[in-house]
Structure 1
């Protein structure tokens, strides 16, 4: 029996409605102010929670009273949607009948409206219908499709609405991009089974009828219908789609400008349907035959969007055939697999046609097919003649597509340029994959291209020149070499690369004016730096290219900046061997002379004296230093050259520091401070030219850097722009600790004294890593000095931490928190590296420090600091727990053991937090370490003194003691549960 319920029947379900409230909703929804909007939202929420609220909304929606108020109609649908999602499953049969009546009334309204509702309203209504459908079909509304299909006779508005409903049903039941619960998945399977049994014939006929009826008058409706066909094909029988009437219709649509894109997408979905491999091959072949005979793939009318769709279709066909071939090969069905492979090979020319299309979007659509085709061939014992031809065609096409687009804007790279670079990256992956398949083919093609292009670069388009250099560069990753040795091992490859590199240098292509060519030239020279071991005669030419208008003096900031970095890489890499040092040393002084003006420090007084940024200049200083340090010169000569390099820094520094002292204008002060900081940064960077094998002392350069250190320390006496100056000095000191030996020790007292003059929390926190670095490097050598400055430093930290600050000042609070962490890390460094510093302190001072560690472990609501504190205590127990320090065993029992129980019991000790769990682990280790050092003495103390005084029962005490004697991991796990129970 049909359950069709129209508007006339729906009147029986009417209930009294609050007209005033709905009218109020209408006015509130239209109001511009937030308060009225909020009231409207609150009223909607009340309707959602009300038992009959949805019925009020249903009546309001279908009454026609609000047909001109989209806001009210949308709110009404939202209420219905909420009910359908939350409680409709448990609705009474009466309410379900009311909902069906409402749905049919809505469909009739939309079908017979004088004008089409807004798309957002139609989509929301479609969603409401689909939500009712998934609950009621097939059990409670088995004739859903019979009842609703009737509305289509009303014309295009009805059809549009119905198609939106089918789209929404797909979203609820089929869409694989939407996550479903196990219960929902089971429900969806039942729905699809019922539809297959009862409704697919109706739907298939309806789609065909709609498309043939409206193909001329309503292309938008036909496009929507094609999309639905594409969606439903994945789970319906292929016979409803791959038949004469449907294929004929699709073929006709593929020739119509207004429908061909949608038709192409539909065909793609049909051939992408999951099928057995033999059936899939047959399906694809039949479609290709029909489309090819109709000349669809030969379309070339400049419609890029349609070409993208066709490329996507070919991509889908290729991937489908590759997948089918793989399945058949595993099954061992040789005949069928050969048929499928033959079908696949016949699609490669189509792929190459679209891959080589001028438009990158069209080309990108088949990149996956190309990638998977190469991967498939790699699994085969050998390539056939046809496959070799296809791979070679693929290589030629990719090389063509790697060229820059004619409209690429090198001056202002925007979104289009970023898209091209992303496409080019994907194309290079194809190039690399081909190399993995046939490296000889790659070598031959690139060698030929480089040999033909670079010698005549002056007469060619820059794009041809750039792609030749880029491909030479790309060989380095496409055909990787062991340990970077591209010029040894495989002689054929080495010979070809050497020939191409020789052409790159001797062709003078580095004098090409285009930035893309220049940048690729320098990148390639650096990648193949070992070429110069084979032919060192080319070194002078390359060095000059780096230094002149081609490189560091180029008119393009982009080129200058990149070359500054690449020059450093070139110098560092070419100086890895004695061979290179011997070949580079003869040019050293000339190179440094050429670099001289680039080493000048910019200042507020002289303006820009060169075109390098401060960041670029850091690379230049490191490069110059590396050249000096790595040369084959005697230490005395190195010292002279290094002092020449650093002298401009010293002279500029003194001048700028004096200006800063005298300057009153804050902006000028900041400019001078930045200049001073930059000078110190350059000196720090110059120190990176030294290595473990070539130290400052071995190179005779100690005095050059210690003299600078004496000069830099004067900056700590200047109060203007103090933060920037201190940062620069600290940075330099860090480098000197790395590069110098005991030569730095005489400077430490003065440096520390000045750095600790009235510091704030942030300055102290930044200073402590330097102290830790000094401790870890010099260990015993630093003990006498550190013993003297230890308590003054500690007291300074206490004073800064104890200084009053505004409770609302979050920055200050965070800085103090960081300083506390830094303090405990400082103590941990001392305990691990030079514990004698603590032993040298007066007992009163030592006790104060130890109590600060206990306080940090127990009181600080900061798990990182607590972890550090327990870690320090464990180390102290290891060293002093038995007999290392008078009074320490008593301290363990009086302070450390209680701390191990008090800290985890604090409300701020969150046992569900990962960092806190780590702190608890260190706490557990402390107790186990005490037991290791004191043995039964600890157990007696716990049983007879500590546990009884804390009200811990004998049973819990014994559990604790027993678990404490297990392995560390087990005890940590047990202890967490112990404190969780204790705090509950």
Structure 2
């Protein structure tokens, strides 16, 4: 062994030494006898105190066993067998004391040998293995680790095997059943009983082995008086009982005849119950209770599966017996589901869900089943309450786990609603009517769950069950009664954040209630506006209230007119910009304030006021932005402190974002013109465009300007067009790649909205933009800068998307208006994109653009020179691109680009007819050295329909590239 290289295995060594060790590792793997050297090094004891070297040797041997051992000769088999026997002796010696990760790796290597050699080359494998048990507890432990490793290689269903491995594993298991499983089972019994007191960890590992192997061996080898007796006894042994639970769980989960399965489960459960194991108190160890809960879950799920099989097989008599057995186990499920420990409870939720699903198939329910359903509902409601230990101020991992657990319970709640809607509603109504009127004297957790249950009803009980809300009080549903009580009880004045949050969520979910009973709207509005909502001490409540208020107002906008001015007045202080100058003392964050401005905009636009009044309200609403913006911009340009510069830039960006969100109140039904607000928003645009001249933090400011312009394209008409050249002029002054790329969608949006009407404006914009894109793309960057390379790639794709938008919306006049040299440059850039770029989406776009240009200009009245361009450039591109080595036809995106190139050729033929066929036959294709018969076949395919030709086209290039 290279001792110098081995010194680099330690974690504290320098990178050079580690690199040398890695290189030596690769050399040994590649060397034909490297594994033998490592086997000798591991077994001769020279590295007894060096775990790094031992593990290194085992990894080299592992590589050999996985890749080459299956084709080994008899000499190599002898060496491997000697290595295995030596390892068994070493690991069985109590003086060796190898760490667990070494012992596990040895066990894995022995299992790799086993799957190759057993049963043909080493039929006595288990005989040799069993003989080592006399060496003592270390050997027994190693034996069990090997059996677990064999299970991983041969049985474990989570390990994906190919067809050959599956056949091999089946053969191995068949051989083991015939020859050894009886001896193995006897050895397990002897090990468990021998070491239960002196080495309980060995007994636990043995129980793990039994659980793994029981899935495919004869059940009678384990489910017999001898084994069951000790398993039941172990349930009362503190150090072993958790492993016993897992073992019994595995026995219960074994695939069996459903009748036999039911009898097996009943036998086990009766014996366990007789020992009082299920009657444990909640003071019992939580880990053990979790294992018991998991066992009960396995029992229930297994019985349900057995019942389903019997029903499917029309064996009604035995199905009824299995169902009766299942009903007897439901009390166990309810006991563990209601356990104080959520982890214990969570282990049995699968049983609960499957039981509900079963009951849906056996309706009408028996009295006992209805009693079970009521018990289940009661337990769910009880368990959904927050624990005393829940930290609402600093939610951590424990709190996140509870919320996840609560989601599981919510699924059961929803399923119960589908099973018996009336029962669920009546129980929730009882909880709500019992709790809300007395909220001041009741534990906050009971109040929160009452409101939470109301909220959950909206999802659990769909409106198809019956209209939840009615304008006729005599037809009011239970939920309408609950909502009325929620508002009138004034529970929103409860100080706890969880109750307030649940209150706001609930009133927003049931906004249709307020359409039926609008007299309750003022109380809810005040809850949002005062210390319960926007002015709450909790930032979490303030933030959520901001979002939910937006939803509440949008849902009831037709009812808001009477409250509009009062609401805006009360919100006035919330509209102030949060700036570095005021020390960010604002109640709401920037993101929360976006919802406030959007909501205010919706209120103004949806009101019944005249356009003049709306204009006045909108001016007042946007006044904080107008009054502060230019001052903030001046401070940004004068500021020298980098941290403050960034703060001002973000504040300016946020101001533009607020104005953008305010415009979301406009719609196709209520446009900006109808509201009389065009002047206000165009004035803002003039002000915002000044930000493009800022000397620092251009990207941040440009984002804000673009965002506002995107909104104005949606809201305004042609009023926005005069401002686009100003924006472009500033943008084209030394733009960064990403800035330029981000600007293109705005131009595309303008084209999509105004179409041919934008042509005169776009004529002047086109070449300056294209020239700038070409310049930025061609600017050299560091080859190692992957971010810059990706940005250029995205800009190229954006450029092609820009051209695609022009032709897709038929703004061809813009291209026609360009000077001949400029148009040629653009067309050649498309050829380069189609052929040279290794970017399939861009190639697809290029061919797509060509196809549309051909449809427009490819006939007899096309643009001058385009016909020659088709023959000299487009047709060759359709062949050169797919023939490139980098053009991978098997890739999905590339295949789409190939399909577009086929449609290009087909469109040329549709436009030019036999002229193209003759050109391909007599001139172009012979230049590519394509055989005459293949040329004839290709041209014949070109005369077929598009779908047929596309299919042929792919086959043609697949052959050409093979």
- Paired with 1:441 and 1:229, the residues of 2 have a C-alpha distance of 45
Which residue pairs with 1:152 in the alignment?
Answer: 133
Aligned ranges 1:473-492 → 2 under 5 Å: 473-482=455-464, 486-488=468-470
Which residue pairs with 2:164 in the alignment?
Answer: 183
Which residue pairs with 1:505 in the alignment?
Answer: 487
Structure 2 residue 85 is matched with structure 1 residue 104: yes
Aligned partner (choices 791, 794, 798) of residue 822 of structure 1: 798
Which residue pairs with 2:570 in the alignment?
Answer: 594
- Paired with 1:803 and 1:196, the residues of 2 have a C-alpha distance of 72
- Paired with 1:23 and 1:764, the residues of 2 have a C-alpha distance of 58
Which residue pairs with 1:776 in the alignment?
Answer: 752
Aligned partner (choices 599, 604, 609) of residue 628 of structure 1: 604
Give the C-alpha shift of residue 906 in structure 1.
Answer: 4.2
Q: CA-to-partner distance for each residue in 1:922-978, whole Å, 9 max, x for gaps?
A: 222222111111112222333344345555554343222112222223323333443
Which residue pairs with 2:911 in the alignment?
Answer: 933
Which residue pairs with 2:375 in the alignment?
Answer: 393
Q: 1:162 to 1:909 in 2, by over 3 A?
A: closer
Give the C-alpha shift of residue 132 in structure 1.
Answer: 3.0
Q: 1:24 to 1:613 in 2, by over 3 A?
A: closer
Structure 2 residue 468 is matched with structure 1 residue 457: no
Which residue pairs with 1:3 in the alignment?
Answer: none
Structure 2 residue 824 is matched with structure 1 residue 854: no
- Paired with 1:560 and 1:659, the residues of 2 have a C-alpha distance of 30
Check conservation: 1:600, 1:609, Cα contact below 8 A.
no
Q: 1:198 to 1:942 in 2, by over 3 A?
A: closer
* Comparing 413-422 and 909-918, the one that deviates more: 909-918
Check conservation: 1:466, 1:516, Cα contact below 8 A.
yes
Structure 2 residue 536 is matched with structure 1 residue 558: no
Report the 3-state secondary structure (helix = DSSP H, G, I; strand = E; otherwise coil) of the residue aligned with 1:168.
Answer: helix
Aligned ranges 1:943-958 → 2 under 5 Å: 943-948=921-926, 952-958=930-936
Check conservation: 1:25, 1:72, Cα contact below 8 A.
no
* Comparing 38-47 and 702-711, the one that deviates more: 38-47
Q: CA-to-partner distance for each residue in 1:716-768, whole Å, 9 max, x for gaps?
A: 33334333333222211111110112332343444444444443433332222
Q: 1:940 to 1:186 in 2, by over 3 A?
A: closer
Aligned ranges 1:275-290 → 2 under 5 Å: 275-290=256-271
Q: 1:861 to 1:335 in 2, by over 3 A?
A: closer
Aligned residues: 958
Which residue pairs with 2:701 in the alignment?
Answer: 725
Which residue pairs with 1:361 in the alignment?
Answer: 343
Check conservation: 1:618, 1:682, Cα contact below 8 A.
yes
Give the C-alpha shift of residue 634 in structure 1.
Answer: 2.0
* Comparing 676-685 and 40-49, the one that deviates more: 40-49
- Paired with 2:739 and 2:125, the residues of 1 have a C-alpha distance of 75
Aligned partner (choices 841, 846, 856) of residue 879 of structure 1: 856
Give the C-alpha shift of residue 905 in structure 1.
Answer: 3.8
Give the C-alpha shift of residue 264 in structure 1.
Answer: 1.4
Aligned partner (choices 811, 816, 822) of residue 839 of structure 1: 816
Give the C-alpha shift of residue 239 in structure 1.
Answer: 1.5
Check conservation: 1:485, 1:530, Cα contact below 8 A.
no
Structure 2 residue 387 is matched with structure 1 residue 405: yes
Aligned ranges 1:650-665 → 2 under 5 Å: 650-665=626-641
* Comparing 630-639 and 249-258, the one that deviates more: 630-639
Check conservation: 1:26, 1:69, Cα contact below 8 A.
no
Report the 3-state secondary structure (helix = DSSP H, G, I; strand = E; otherwise coil) of the residue aligned with 2:721.
Answer: helix
Give the C-alpha shift of residue 491 in structure 1.
Answer: 10
Which residue pairs with 1:898 in the alignment?
Answer: 876
Which residue pairs with 1:206 in the alignment?
Answer: 187
- Paired with 1:175 and 1:182, the residues of 2 have a C-alpha distance of 15
Unaligned runs of 5+ in 1: 1-20, 576-580
- Paired with 2:35 and 2:883, the residues of 1 have a C-alpha distance of 52
User: CA RMSD of the aligned region, Å?
Assistant: 2.7
* Comparing 911-920 and 523-532, the one that deviates more: 911-920
Report the 3-state secondary structure (helix = DSSP H, G, I; strand = E; otherwise coil) of the residue aligned with 2:553.
Answer: helix
- Paired with 1:803 and 1:82, the residues of 2 have a C-alpha distance of 48
* Comparing 70-79 and 937-946, the one that deviates more: 70-79
- So what's the TM-score if we normalise by structure 2? 0.94
Aligned partner (choices 647, 651, 663) of residue 675 of structure 1: 651
Which residue pairs with 1:249 in the alignment?
Answer: 230
Which residue pairs with 1:228 in the alignment?
Answer: 209
Aligned ranges 1:596-745 → 2 under 5 Å: 596-745=572-721
- Paired with 2:63 and 2:782, the residues of 1 have a C-alpha distance of 49
Unaligned runs of 5+ in 2: none
Q: 1:634 to 1:128 in 2, by over 3 A?
A: same
Report the 3-state secondary structure (helix = DSSP H, G, I; strand = E; otherwise coil) of the residue aligned with 1:703.
Answer: helix
Report the 3-state secondary structure (helix = DSSP H, G, I; strand = E; otherwise coil) of the residue aligned with 2:101.
Answer: helix
Structure 2 residue 840 is matched with structure 1 residue 863: yes
Q: 1:329 to 1:595 in 2, by over 3 A?
A: same
Report the 3-state secondary structure (helix = DSSP H, G, I; strand = E; otherwise coil) of the residue aligned with 2:362.
Answer: coil
* Comparing 25-34 and 673-682, the one that deviates more: 25-34
- Paired with 1:116 and 1:490, the residues of 2 have a C-alpha distance of 82
Which residue pairs with 1:549 in the alignment?
Answer: 531
Q: CA-to-partner distance for each residue in 1:564-618, whole Å, 9 max, x for gaps?
A: 110001111112xxxxx2x321111000000000000122222224211111111
Check conservation: 2:91, 2:138, Cα contact below 8 A.
yes
Q: 1:105 to 1:550 in 2, by over 3 A?
A: same
* Comparing 129-138 and 465-474, the one that deviates more: 129-138
Give the C-alpha shift of residue 302 in structure 1.
Answer: 2.3
Check conservation: 1:659, 1:672, Cα contact below 8 A.
yes
Which residue pairs with 1:972 in the alignment?
Answer: 950
Aligned partner (choices 146, 154, 175) of residue 173 of structure 1: 154
